[in-house]
């Protein structure tokens, strides 16, 4: 019960047909609107088409049924391409196939590798991710924070729209759709990385350098193992472990020689010394959103490198939608990039002493960024939820929504670098600085020379270097001086800054090689060496997780019985019905939002919900309006016998169920509608 709810691989034909429309429409837009006419720019067309497709699904899916939305939006992307081309369907098809088949083969190999690994893992909030895929596929758009309320979910669900398309049009299970979508984006990111490396270095090995750097660059915590043991023990006084790392080790010294103890991980656990709570490699992007955000960054750079984009309304409009979808996928990256655009624009205005002589591509980007702001705030997801929460705090709106607002940021003093694994790393000692640098990755050693070079390039008219440089400094400095309500999550801002820095280092490295002078050769060698040290950690982690390729994990704490029940009941519950059950699982199996994606209801209903979880009664469930109930053996054994007996009532019907041969493990969905007056 891993791949499909029913049927076979032929189920993917409708989804594949839609993706062909998306690719065709995106390529037409890239060719006619943005003037990208090299044969390999066809790969940019697929990415742009996919972004516009997912963005339009998030919009159109609010009013249309899921099948119509997922199919119709593919036609919309093609229609946009046809309008841009004015009916001219001529594209360099043969040239693109001749030049692009090696990259296509590379993408397929990387897709297969990541699919095999993902199929054997159940990491990083899968209950949340799978619930999002399942409810979106069933028409939950925009995703609400809690069933019965209109508050948007404070989560970046842009990536999950892709998995939902696979589940709805391809008939896949939520876990297989999620894994397939991750592998697809991973393979595509590999192609873009190779393409970027070749364009930067203009040498045969450039593609490999780009791929390894983008996909595997990580922190270099493992280099701390070269320190004397006494010095590592001293670090125990500076570091308070956080998150799953604190559950895996009792001290920093113990963590450096221990393994990451997480459920549903690979058979050989990840060594903690090769992990990083700041610069997580894309090869560990098992949540999906980081993979798509990385692909969006690569697309953005490839659009601007060399020749930029034209300043015309169609290009600005498309780019605005692109940026707003980035906000739905990774709000931290969107915010950092936006500040980088602002810094780049301000610097260019000062240099030009006005707006008249600005680079057309920079002004087009600035206009697109401004246009994307209202869309990002209204389209759903994290930024929409934060705006609503902020409005409630200002008593402009009345909402029960939980979560953070923009006022959740506060000053951090003394300054510190935040790691999701190591907590606040103090910068008040040399040892603290050393740990911070290696946690972020030795690539930060190049920050000063790269910054000087990028600033000079921006002064010579290559504004994209200044834009990326601004994003790097915002990403690195903001979390050092500001904290957030959920402080470990602020490390995402630093992580994005370091991802951008990796691309800037590639550009800097390529520029030094082209000059070919004495000190330039030494500088290029240093860049290559530090990049290799950063790549090594990601390669080690990937080697470890390859051990999961020979196993199948539906999801964390899920078994085949859950798959059988999903096949029986998914998408059949009435849209206006209320469902009760363990948060996440009920939504995954039915496609019906039960409570919230990862939160029970709020306010008074939360108390009722908690009471029913501990000791359900038929009267309480009916009074709460719950028409369907999820039950498995784990929950069933925890509730009192009197509560177990309620499911034997004459009015209670078994809507779906599956169990093992002896009945010790089971999954059931009960229908209580006959119990209502």
Could you give the count of Cα atoms lying within 13 Å of 221 in the half-sphere of its Cβ?
30
Residue ending a domain, among 144, 160, 186, is 186
Specify whether 468 is located in the same domain as 346.
yes
Query: Is 252 domain-assigned?
Result: no
- Is-contact 153 404, C-beta < 8 A? no
56 Cβ contact partners less than 8 Å away, ≥ 6 residues apart: 73, 76, 77
Mean pLDDT of the chain: 88
Query: Is 126 domain-assigned?
Result: yes
Beta-bridge partner residues of 653? 671
Tokens of 157: 């669900």
Whether 404 has a pLDDT exceeding 80, the answer reads no
Specify whether 408 is located in the same domain as 494.
yes
Query: Is 265 domain-assigned?
Result: no
Better-scored residue on pLDDT, 658 or 599: 658
pLDDT per residue as tens digits for the range 77-114: 999 999 999 878 889 999 999 999 999 999 999 999 99
Specify whether 470 is located in the same domain as 331.
yes
Specify whether 439 is located in the same domain as 487.
yes
3-state secondary structure labels for all residues of 273-301: HHCCCCCCCHHHCCCCHHHHHHHHHHHHH
- Average pLDDT over every residue of 608-621: 89
The span from the CA of 572 to the CA of 138, in Å, is: 9
pLDDT of residue 399: 46
Whether 153 has a pLDDT exceeding 90, the answer reads no
User: Helices 289-304 and 331-352, interaxial angle, to 10°?
Assistant: 20
Specify whether 503 is located in the same domain as 396.
yes
- Average pLDDT over every residue of 62-81: 95
Number of folded domains in the chain?
3
- Average pLDDT over every residue of 517-527: 84
pLDDT of residue 405: 56
Q: Is 141 helix (H, G, I), strand (E, B) or coil?
A: coil
Query: Is 283 domain-assigned?
Result: no
Specify whether 508 is located in the same domain as 566.
no
Residue ending a domain, among 534, 551, 586, is 534
Whether 398 has a pLDDT exceeding 70, the answer reads no
Specify whether 341 is located in the same domain as 428.
yes
Specify whether 406 is located in the same domain as 525.
yes
Whether 163 has a pLDDT exceeding 60, the answer reads yes
Whether 532 has a pLDDT exceeding 90, the answer reads yes
Q: Is 483 helix (H, G, I), strand (E, B) or coil?
A: strand
- Average pLDDT over every residue of 123-143: 87
- The one-character DSSP state at 4 is B
Q: 649, 514, 452, 591: which is closest to 202 by C-alpha? A: 514
Whether 306 has a pLDDT exceeding 70, the answer reads no
pLDDT per residue as tens digits for the range 350-365: 877 766 777 788 888 8
**343-357, 369-383, 612-626, range with the lowest pLDDT:** 343-357
Q: Find the domain containing 82 and state its range.
A: 9-186
Q: 283, 196, 204: which is closest to 506 by C-alpha? A: 196
Specify whether 510 is located in the same domain as 595.
no
Whether 442 has a pLDDT exceeding 60, the answer reads yes
Specify whether 580 is located in the same domain as 515.
no
**328-337, 339-348, 382-391, 619-628, range with the lowest pLDDT:** 382-391
Global pTM reads 0.94
- Average pLDDT over every residue of 181-198: 96
Query: Is 539 domain-assigned?
Result: no
- Average pLDDT over every residue of 538-551: 93
Q: Which residues of 207-235 are buried (b: 16+ CB within 10 A; e: fewer)?
A: bbbbbbbbbbbbbbbbbbeebeeeebeeb
Residue ending a domain, among 186, 212, 238, is 186
Whether 402 has a pLDDT exceeding 60, the answer reads no
Query: Is 245 domain-assigned?
Result: no
Specify whether 506 is located in the same domain as 431.
yes
% of the chain at pLDDT higher than 90: 52
Pair type for strands 578-580 and 653-659:
unpaired
Query: Is 288 domain-assigned?
Result: no
pLDDT per residue as tens digits for the range 225-262: 999 988 889 988 888 888 778 888 888 999 898 888 87
pLDDT of residue 400: 47
Whether 654 has a pLDDT exceeding 70, the answer reads yes
Tokens of 664: 């010790």
pLDDT of residue 533: 96
Specify whether 577 is located in the same domain as 655.
yes
Query: Is 19 domain-assigned?
Result: yes
Give the chain's end-to-end CA distance (angstroms, integer): 38
3-state secondary structure labels for all residues of 523-563: HHHHHHHHHHHHHHHHHHHHHHHHHHHHCCCCCCCCCHHHH
pLDDT band at 582 (very low <50, low <70, confident <90, very high): confident
Could you give the count of Cα atoms lying within 13 Å of 353 in the half-sphere of its Cβ?
0
C-alpha 447 chain-centroid distance: 26
């Amino acid at each position: 019960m891993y791949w499909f709810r029913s049927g076979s691989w032929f189920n993917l034909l409708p989804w594949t047909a839609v993706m062909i429309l998306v690719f065709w429409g995106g390529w037409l837009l890239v060719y006619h609107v943005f003037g990208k006419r090299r044969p390999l720019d066809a790969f940019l067309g697929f990415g742009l088409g996919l972004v516009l497709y997912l963005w339009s699904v998030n919009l159109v899916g609010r009013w249309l049924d899921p099948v119509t939305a997922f199919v119709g939006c593919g036609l919309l992307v093609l229609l946009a391409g046809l309008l841009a081309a004015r009916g001219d369907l001529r594209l360099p098809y043969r040239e693109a196939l001749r030049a692009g088949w090696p990259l296509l083969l590379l993408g397929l190999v990387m897709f297969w590798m990541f699919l095999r690994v993902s199929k054997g893992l159940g990491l990083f909030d899968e209950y949340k991710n799978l619930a999002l895929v399942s409810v979106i596929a069933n028409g939950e758009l925009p995703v609400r924070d809690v069933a019965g309320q209109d508050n948007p979910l404070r989560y970046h669900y842009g990536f999950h729209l892709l998995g939902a398309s696979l589940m709805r049009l391809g008939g896949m299970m939520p876990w297989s759709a999620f894994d397939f979508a991750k592998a697809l984006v991973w393979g595509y990111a590999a192609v873009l990385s190779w393409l970027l490396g070749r364009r930067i270095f203009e040498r045969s090995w450039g593609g490999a350098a780009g791929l390894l750097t983008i996909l595997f660059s990580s922190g270099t915590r493992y280099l701390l193992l070269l320190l004397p043991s006494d010095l590592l023990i001293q670090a125990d006084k500076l570091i308070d472990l956080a998150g799953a790392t604190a559950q895996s080790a009792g001290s920093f010294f113990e963590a450096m020689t221990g393994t990451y103890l997480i459920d549903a991980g690979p058979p050989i656990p990840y060594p903690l010394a090769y992990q990083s709570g700041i610069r997580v490699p894309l090869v560990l992007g098992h949540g999906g959103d980081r993979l798509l955000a990385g692909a969006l960054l690569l697309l953005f750079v490839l659009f601007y490198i060399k020749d930029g984009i034209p300043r015309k309304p169609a290009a600005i409009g498309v780019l605005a939608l692109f940026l707003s979808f980035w906000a739905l996928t990774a709000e931290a990256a969107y915010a950092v990039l936006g500040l980088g655009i602002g810094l780049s624009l301000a610097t260019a205005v000062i240099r030009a002493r006005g707006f008249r002589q600005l680079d057309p591509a920079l002004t087009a980007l600035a206009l697109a960024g401004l246009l994307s702001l209202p869309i990002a705030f209204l389209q759903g997801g994290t930024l929409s939820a934060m705006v609503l929460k902020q409005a409630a705090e200002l008593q402009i709106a009345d909402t029960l929504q939980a979560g953070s607002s923009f006022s959740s940021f506060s000053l951090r003093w003394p300054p510190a670098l935040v790691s999701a694994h190591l907590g606040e790393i103090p910068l008040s000692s040399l040892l603290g600085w050393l740990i911070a640098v290696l946690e972020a990755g030795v690539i930060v050693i190049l920050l000063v020379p790269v910054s000087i070079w990028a600033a000079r390039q921006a002064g010579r008219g290559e504004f994209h270097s200044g834009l990326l440089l601004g994003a790097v400094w915002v990403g690195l400095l903001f979390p050092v001086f500001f904290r957030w309500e959920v402080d470990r999550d602020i490390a995402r801002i630093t992580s994005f800054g370091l991802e951008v820095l990796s691309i800037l280092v590639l550009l800097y490295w390529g520029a030094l090689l082209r000059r070919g002078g004495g000190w330039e050769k030494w500088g290029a060698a240093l860049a290559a060496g530090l990049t290799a040290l950063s790549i090594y950690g990601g390669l080690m982690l990937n080697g470890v997780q390859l051990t999961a390729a020979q196993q199948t994990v539906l999801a964390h704490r899920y078994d085949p019985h859950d798959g059988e029940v999903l096949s029986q009941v998914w998408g059949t519950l009435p849209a206006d019905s209320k469902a009760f059950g363990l948060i996440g699982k009920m939504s995954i199996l039915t496609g019906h939002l039960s409570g919230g994606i990862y939160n029970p209801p709020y306010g008074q209903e939360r108390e009722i919900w908690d009471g029913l979880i501990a000791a359900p009664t038929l009267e309480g469930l009916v009074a709460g309006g719950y028409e369907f109930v999820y039950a498995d053996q784990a929950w069933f054994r925890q509730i009192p016998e009197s509560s177990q007996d309620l499911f034997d009532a004459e009015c209670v019907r078994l809507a779906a169920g599956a169990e093992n041969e002896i009945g010790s493990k089971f999954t059931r969905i009960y229908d209580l509608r006959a119990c209502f007056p």
